Amino acid sequence: MSKVAIIGAGYVGLTTAACLASLGHDVTGADIDADRVARLNRGEIPILEDGLPELVADGIAGRRLRFVVGAVTAVGNADFVFLCVPTPQADDGSADLGFVEAAVREIAPKLRPGTVVINKSTVPVGTTRIVKRILSDAGATDRIYVASNPEFLREGVAVSDFLHPNRVVIGCEDPEAAVRVSDLYRNVDAPILVTDAASAEMIKYASNAFLATKISFINAIAGLCEAVDADVREVALGMGYDTRIGFEFLHPGPGYGGSCFPKDTAALLHTARSSGFDFSLLQGVIDVNRRQHERMVEKIRNLAGGDLDGATIAVWGLTFKAKTDDLRDSPALYITDHLMAEGAKVRAYEPAEEAAARAATMQPGLEIVSDAYEAVAGASVLGVLTEWDEFRWVDFERVKAGMTAPNVVDTRNLLDPTALRRRGFTYVGVGR
Ligand code: NAD
Ligand code: UGA
């Protein structure tokens, strides 16, 4: 059993804390948000993650997990310190390391010899070196090790991804420290790749950028399918049977969003530019994605008769994908923002209640209602913006009765076009 401190109790930090506690380690999670810490110690989970409430409750009850305010409070006795703080996008596209650097400066004087500081935040190549330098500048003992251990979990299935990962990547120049970090994962059944820090940092960005590339590729194929009257769903199926291509991340949609793909592709492009490397492929991926958001607005405008001014538009789903409450860089919010900018009145239903409340404060003018039928009342177009399963099981006769015209833009290809058309709807999907 190792003593582990986790700095940052967000999607990654909280999942890491709860999962490492469930693997038998003694874990202290720290956050600067005192309210969040108080809620966590009461067993209240501030984010929507399957299985997380149970793991946190087990950890607290078994005295293997606790939460404290401030990084300094957590690290004094730690053998390992995980940095799980935000690395948001800076104005120039690069990853802003401000939170990482501040956390390292804060904890440096408190670390005891032998501690391994592990970067789990997504950080550009070279950050492990920066962390080492800050530690020594801030007076930490020279027997502190630094490792990179990027995280590959997806929101919504974070616990399952953490406990059953495809791989664990550890980047560390010191072999003994690398073995100690890999030992934290001894009860996780996954290949462990130990490599140098720069490669570990690059693996994270390359993985996210590759997945984003698959999505932009299929979205571009979807656009082409619309032009030549093919069905992208059949195309993706036919491609996916080739195991070299695979079925995953070939679902066309409104473009990727979320707290990571947009910022991580921008950061990797920034790294390429500042290294003098022409990564036009990645620029293309980002451009296709932005264009895909715009195409969804165009589809809704077209069904509204070519002019959104004064139109009432209903939307279902505001989060960046289903099964999460995360609104960061959500394509849905891009779409509602642009609909309203063109004069539409937008009424939204979002199943994750807390996310719905936050969306209302982020976009004044966006009307939030508490069910799918209320959203469509008086609307001339319904936009399905995330793929929450409950949208499939709505009574579409009732939807039709509530709308001024039965028009649906299904940006996720979630619904059955044949069934809807039979009911008299005009249905527009993506690439079909
Ligand atoms: P988040 O915003 O949900 O959580 C970060 C937390 O860190 C916040 O609660 C914040 O209050 C806290 N914090 C900031 N500075 C602190 C400090 N000095 N001391 C203590 N707490 C502090 O962020 P996240 O989504 O968990 O992402 C964290 C990092 O992990 C990012 O680099 C992100 O790119 C990466 N990542 C995220 C995901 C994901 O799905 N969200 C997956 C893989 C990697
Ligand atoms: C993504 C990666 O999948 C994780 O491996 C990674 O750890 C994480 O980013 C991160 O670095 O933060 P996440 O952002 O939770 O995870 O969400 P995904 O399920 O990957 O979806 C990202 C976006 O792509 C969403 O907007 C989703 O709707 C979209 N998407 C995904 C598609 O449009 N089509 C697909 O086929 C798959």
Residue 22, domain CATH: 3.40.50.720
CA distance 366 to 336: 8
Domain that holds residue 349: 229-432
With the most atoms of ligand 2 within 8 angstroms of its CB, the residue from 89, 215, 329 to mutate is 215
- What spacing in Å lies between the alpha carbon of 215 and ligand 2's midpoint? 9
- Please give the DSSP secondary-structure letter assigned to residue 142: T
Last residue of a domain, one of 138, 171, 195: 195
With the most atoms of ligand 1 within 8 angstroms of its CB, the residue from 6, 7, 11, 69 to mutate is 11
- What spacing in Å lies between the alpha carbon of 8 and ligand 1's midpoint? 6
Residue 144, number of CB atoms within 10 A of its CB: 21
pLDDT value of position 142: 78
- What spacing in Å lies between the alpha carbon of 151 and ligand 2's midpoint? 13
Domain identity same for 251 and 323: yes
Q: Is residue 216 part of a domain?
A: no
The ligand 2 atom nearest the CA atom of 261: 9
- What spacing in Å lies between the alpha carbon of 11 and ligand 2's midpoint? 14
- What spacing in Å lies between the alpha carbon of 345 and ligand 1's midpoint? 34
Query: Tell me, what amino acid is at 254?
Result: P
Last residue of a domain, one of 140, 172, 195: 195
Using a 6 Å cutoff on CB, does residue 148 contact ligand 2?
Answer: no
Domain identity same for 322 and 399: yes
Q: Is residue 82 part of a domain?
A: yes
Q: How many residues does the chain have?
A: 432
pLDDT value of position 139: 80
Q: Is residue 200 part of a domain?
A: no
Query: By C-alpha distance, which of 192, 172, 190, 191 is closest to 182?
Result: 192
Which residues have a Cβ under 8 Å from the Cβ of 414 and sit 6 or more positions away? 384, 387, 391, 392
Catalytic site includes residue 19: no
Ligand nearest to the CA of 100: 1
Q: Is residue 265 part of a domain?
A: yes
CA distance 41 to 57: 9
Q: Is residue 423 part of a domain?
A: yes
Task: Report CA-CA distances (Å) from 258 to 12, 185, 194, 327, 368.
Answer: 14, 27, 28, 7, 21
Domain identity same for 40 and 145: yes
Using a 6 Å cutoff on CB, does residue 121 contact ligand 2?
Answer: no
Query: What is the layout of strands, in order, in the sheet containing 367-369?
Result: 367-369, 345-349, 312-316, 381-384, 407-410, 426-428
The ligand 2 atom nearest the CA atom of 215: 34
- Its pTM stands at 0.97
Write out the DSSP string of 77-124: T-SEEEE----PBPTTSSB--HHHHHHHHHHGGGPPTT-EEEE-S---
Query: Which residue has its alpha carbon closest to ligand 2 atom 2?
Result: 154
Domain identity same for 162 and 293: no
Domain identity same for 43 and 105: yes
The ligand 1 atom nearest the CA atom of 30: 20
With the most atoms of ligand 1 within 8 angstroms of its CB, the residue from 160, 259, 327, 330 to mutate is 259
pLDDT value of position 1: 86
Q: Which residue pairs, CB below 8 angstroms and at least 24 apart, start in 135-142?
A: 135/104, 135/108, 135/111, 138/104, 138/105, 138/108, 138/109, 139/108, 139/109, 140/108, 140/109, 140/111, 141/111, 141/112, 141/113
Using a 6 Å cutoff on CB, does residue 122 contact ligand 1?
Answer: yes
| Pairing of the two strands 192-195 and 312-316 | unpaired
Query: Which residue has its alpha carbon closest to ligand 2 atom 24?
Result: 256
Using a 6 Å cutoff on CB, does residue 289 contact ligand 1?
Answer: no
Using a 6 Å cutoff on CB, does residue 152 contact ligand 2?
Answer: yes
Using a 6 Å cutoff on CB, does residue 169 contact ligand 2?
Answer: no
Domain identity same for 233 and 188: no
Cα atoms in the Cβ-side hemisphere of radius 13 Å centred on 404 = 11
* Total number of domains constituting the chain: 2
- Please give the DSSP secondary-structure letter assigned to residue 390: G
Domain identity same for 245 and 185: no
Note down pLDDT in tens along the chain; length 432 residues: 899 999 999 999 999 999 999 999 999 999 999 999 999 999 999 999 999 999 999 999 999 999 999 999 999 999 999 999 999 999 999 999 999 999 999 999 999 999 999 999 999 999 999 999 999 998 887 799 999 999 999 999 999 999 999 999 999 999 999 999 999 999 999 999 999 999 999 999 999 999 999 999 999 999 999 999 999 999 999 999 999 999 999 999 999 999 999 999 999 999 999 999 999 999 999 999 999 999 999 999 999 999 999 999 999 999 999 999 999 999 999 999 999 999 999 999 999 999 999 999 999 999 999 999 999 999 999 999 999 999 999 999 999 999 999 999 999 999 999 999 999 999 999 999
- Show the tokens assigned to 359: 């969306």
Domain identity same for 379 and 257: yes
Q: Is residue 220 part of a domain?
A: no
Domain identity same for 332 and 413: yes
Q: Is residue 333 part of a domain?
A: yes
Domain identity same for 55 and 104: yes
One of 19, 84, 172, 260 is an active-site residue; which one? 260
The ligand 2 atom nearest the CA atom of 161: 5
Q: Is residue 210 part of a domain?
A: no
Query: Which residue has its alpha carbon closest to ligand 1 atom 13?
Result: 8
Domain identity same for 11 and 121: yes
**Residues 56/65, Cβ–Cβ less than 8 Å:** yes
Ligand nearest to the CA of 119: 1
With the most atoms of ligand 2 within 8 angstroms of its CB, the residue from 207, 210, 216, 256 to mutate is 256
Using a 6 Å cutoff on CB, does residue 74 contact ligand 1?
Answer: no
Domain identity same for 390 and 291: yes
Last residue of a domain, one of 171, 195, 219: 195
E strand or H helix at 10: none
Query: By C-alpha distance, which of 361, 362, 296 is closest to 335?
Result: 296
